Chains A and B, each alone.
Chain A
Amino acid sequence: MTLIRRNLAGALVLGIPFLWIALFMLLPYGIIVTYSFWIKTYPTFKPAFQFGNYLTLFTDPQYLQVMLRTLKIALLVSLCSFLLAYPFAFYLVFRCKSAALRTWLYMAVIAPLWVSYLLRAYVWKTILGTEGILNSFLMSVGIIDQPSDIFLYNQFAMVVTLTYIFIPFMVMPIYTALEKIPHNLTEASADLGMGPWRSFWHVTLPLSLPGVAAGFTLTFCLSFGDFVAPFLVGGPDGNLMANVIATQFGAALNWPLGSALAIVMLVVVLSIVSMSDRLERKGAAGGV
């Protein structure tokens, strides 16, 4: 467009974000990519170009285990969020008769996003702990007679907490996708003699897949990189990748290895985002 060449406004509109991206995203990422090839020589690091750090990550069982655990937790969180979010969004769009109730329920699921993320994680620590509310409640009603430690400091607690935190990110895109499905499509399939299950399976579900993909992308990536929930409710063998990265830049003082792990995380997120982008474009869903 000639507009850009012609005036300062255009230059500013493009220039400011470009400069910002270059300075605060590309440059920092470039630096950690560089560090990820360096060698740790106690107590500092020396520049090098070798793949030793990456090799360590994928061969040392200690790191491999953390990466697999992170993958497992993130998948479980996405799955649980999906199982809760889909029927909810479906109810709102297709079954809920009152528009006001629909708005209120939708807002009720989104509203927790505005309430501190840390608090929403912390409250589960107070609920699930051995000295916590769930245990004392179960004891006071006589279901158990002494506090149980099965609720906190394990992967179950992490999945519950992360699902609780990230479920709005699953509801929003699924709701949007379901809302876009013209009602006459499902009516048509009913007229053609399809039962509710079959028309759900053949019409509604396929049409809502772009929303499901977007929801999975968000919840997976966000729980994949979380390090607060593991710290609060994960317990001794609940460390996820982000906790290990934090340790490498803190106590363990191994920046090259920490950088390599961060790059692995970046690559995983980037590939999931582009996969879901492709899926969404196939579904021809709009949006940014």
Chain B
Amino acid sequence: MANRNPNLISRYGADTAFMTFVAALMAFLYVPIWVLIAFSFNSSRSLTWPLSGFTFEWYEKLWHNGDLLTAIGNSFYVASGATVLTLVVGVPAALALHKFHFPGKVIFRRMILLPITLPGIVTGISMLNMFRLFGFQLSLETVILGHATALLGVVVTQVFARLQRLPKSLEEAAFDLGAGPWRSFIDITLPNIRSAIIGAGLLSFVLSFDEIPVTFFLTGRDNTLPMYIYSTLRRGVTPEINAVGSLIVLMSLVLIIVSVIATRDRTK
């Protein structure tokens, strides 16, 4: 009798299985982040279960940690510089890929997209060797050049995808009405790809703020925030890092919300 509608039953079973699976995946993704946050408020120095008590001590300590604050400042400097540079190079690159046909386009495209899949360490050591060869002093500025190179692919992919979706007629109309290439870019193309540029910029900022492999090789004496955390981790895990981590999670959350709002298409 129970088998009267086997289809319905198996469908119900499959749905339950899928739901359980999705719930488990969400737990896998988010329990660690909650663990990080929970332990940043835990009063004990050791990171063991059960939680021992509530404290703001680790957050207060951050404010008096000069090295950490310098590192945060450096990270903001590097991420801003890298974002601006990578947009200055990436947006024209996306335009070139979209508009022009030229010899070597396939290689050009592959080179620009390569850093997305290329491990940062290759970008890092190859640029390190070049800077050493030409006698450049390693500094936060060399890190910025490295990040801009590593993030180029991210910007190009996002802006290019948007350009592909623009109707060609818009620009043709602008040309017919006598607008030169600059005018039609400023008045027609740019407003249409603006949200893609903002989105790509925000993502580049986050990725640069967080970058380790390239920074590891290209920085001089200055530490960025992830490099500071990385070198602290050599000495073991501490609740202070959980506090920094929770603040980073908070900042990421804010940036995600900003990016969702900023990149929403107004035309839709």
Residues of A within 8 A of B (CB): 1, 3-4, 7, 9-10, 12-14, 16-18, 20-21, 24-29, 31-32, 35, 84, 87-88, 91, 95, 105, 108-109, 111-112, 114-120, 122-127, 129, 131-133, 135-137, 140, 164, 167, 196, 217-218, 221-222, 224-228, 232, 242, 245-246, 249, 255, 258-259, 262, 265-266, 269-270, 272-274, 286-288
Q: CB-CB < 8 A to A258: which residues of B?
A: 125
| Interface assignment of B149: CB less than 8 Å from any CB of chain A | yes
Whether A245 contacts B125 in the complex (CB less than 8 A), given A24-B145, A115-B248, comes out as yes
Given A17-B112, A28-B130, A108-B30, output 9 extra A-B contacts at Cβ < 8 Å.
A3-B181, A13-B95, A25-B115, A28-B123, A95-B15, A122-B237, A132-B47, A228-B212, A242-B213
* Number of A-B residue pairs with CB-CB distance less than 8 Å in the complex they form: 234
What is the interface size of chain B, counting residues whose CB is below 8 A from a CB of the partner?
89
Closest to A32 in B: B126
Q: CB-CB < 8 A to A225: which residues of B?
A: 118-122, 213
Query: B66-103: which have CB < 8 Å to A?
Result: 88-90, 92-93, 95-97, 99-102
Contact in complex: B119, A242 (CB < 8 Å): yes
- Show 28 A/B contacts (Cβ-Cβ < 8 Å), sorted by A: A10-B100, A13-B92, A28-B123, A31-B130, A35-B129, A95-B14, A108-B30, A116-B252, A118-B229, A119-B249, A120-B33, A122-B241, A164-B28, A196-B14, A222-B119, A225-B120, A225-B121, A225-B213, A228-B213, A249-B128, A255-B129, A262-B122, A265-B122, A266-B122, A269-B114, A269-B117, A269-B122, A288-B109
User: Which segment of B54-62, B152-160, B190-198 sits at the interface?
Assistant: B152-160
Q: CB-CB < 8 A to A273: which residues of B?
A: 110, 114, 117
Bound complex: CA A95 to CA B109 (Å): 37
Q: CB-CB < 8 A to B122: which residues of A?
A: 225, 262, 265-266, 269
Q: CB-CB < 8 A to B121: which residues of A?
A: 225, 227, 242, 245-246, 262, 265
Pick from B28, B210, B248 the residue with the most CB of A within 10 Å. Answer: B210
Contact in complex: B230, A118 (CB < 8 Å): yes
Closest to B127 in A: A28
Q: CB-CB < 8 A to B242: which residues of A?
A: 126
Bound complex: CA A151 to CA B21 (Å): 23
Closest to A95 in B: B18
Contact in complex: B22, A123 (CB < 8 Å): no
Q: CB-CB < 8 A to B148: which residues of A?
A: 24
Whether A133 contacts B25 in the complex (CB less than 8 A), given A24-B127, A224-B119, comes out as no
Q: Mark B179-199, 1 if CB is under 8 A from A, else 0.
A: 011100100000000000000
Contact in complex: B92, A12 (CB < 8 Å): yes
Contact in complex: B128, A9 (CB < 8 Å): no
Pick from A4, A35, A115, A245 the residue with the most CB of B within 10 Å. Answer: A115
Bound complex: CA A29 to CA B181 (Å): 35
Whether A14 contacts B47 in the complex (CB less than 8 A), given A25-B149, A119-B36, comes out as no
| Interface assignment of B138: CB less than 8 Å from any CB of chain A | no
Q: Would you call the interface of chain A mostly helix, strand, loop, or mixed?
A: helix
Closest to A135 in B: B48
Closest to A168 in B: B29
Whether A20 contacts B89 in the complex (CB less than 8 A), given A29-B126, A32-B125, comes out as yes
| Interface assignment of B133: CB less than 8 Å from any CB of chain A | yes
Bound complex: CA A4 to CA B101 (Å): 10
Bound complex: CA A21 to CA B149 (Å): 8
Contact in complex: A123, B50 (CB < 8 Å): no
Residue from B14, B22, B237 within 8 A of A129 (CB atoms): B237
Whether A118 contacts B182 in the complex (CB less than 8 A), given A3-B100, A242-B213, comes out as no
Bound complex: CA A103 to CA B49 (Å): 34
Task: Determine how close the nearest CB of chain A comes to the CB of B248; give it in whole angstroms.
Answer: 5
Q: CB-CB < 8 A to B217: which residues of A?
A: 246, 249
Residue from B95, B117, B145, B256 within 8 A of A221 (CB atoms): B117
Bound complex: CA A28 to CA B95 (Å): 25
Bound complex: CA A111 to CA B251 (Å): 12
Bound complex: CA A44 to CA B225 (Å): 33
Q: CB-CB < 8 A to A29: which residues of B?
A: 126
Task: Determine how close the nearest CB of chain A comes to the CB of B93; give it in whole angstroms.
Answer: 4
Bound complex: CA A24 to CA B249 (Å): 32
Query: B134-161: which have CB < 8 Å to A?
Result: 145, 148-149, 152, 156-157, 160-161
| Interface assignment of B35: CB less than 8 Å from any CB of chain A | yes
Q: CB-CB < 8 A to B256: which residues of A?
A: 111, 114
Whether A287 contacts B161 in the complex (CB less than 8 A), given A4-B100, A112-B29, A136-B48, comes out as yes
| Interface assignment of B53: CB less than 8 Å from any CB of chain A | no
Task: Determine how close the nearest CB of chain B comes to the CB of A184; give it in whole angstroms.
Answer: 20
Task: Determine how close the nearest CB of chain A comes to the CB of B205; give it in whole angstroms.
Answer: 10
Task: Determine how close the nearest CB of chain B comes to the CB of A124; give it in whole angstroms.
Answer: 7
Bound complex: CA A264 to CA B260 (Å): 39
Bound complex: CA A105 to CA B35 (Å): 20
Bound complex: CA A269 to CA B110 (Å): 12
Bound complex: CA A124 to CA B92 (Å): 40
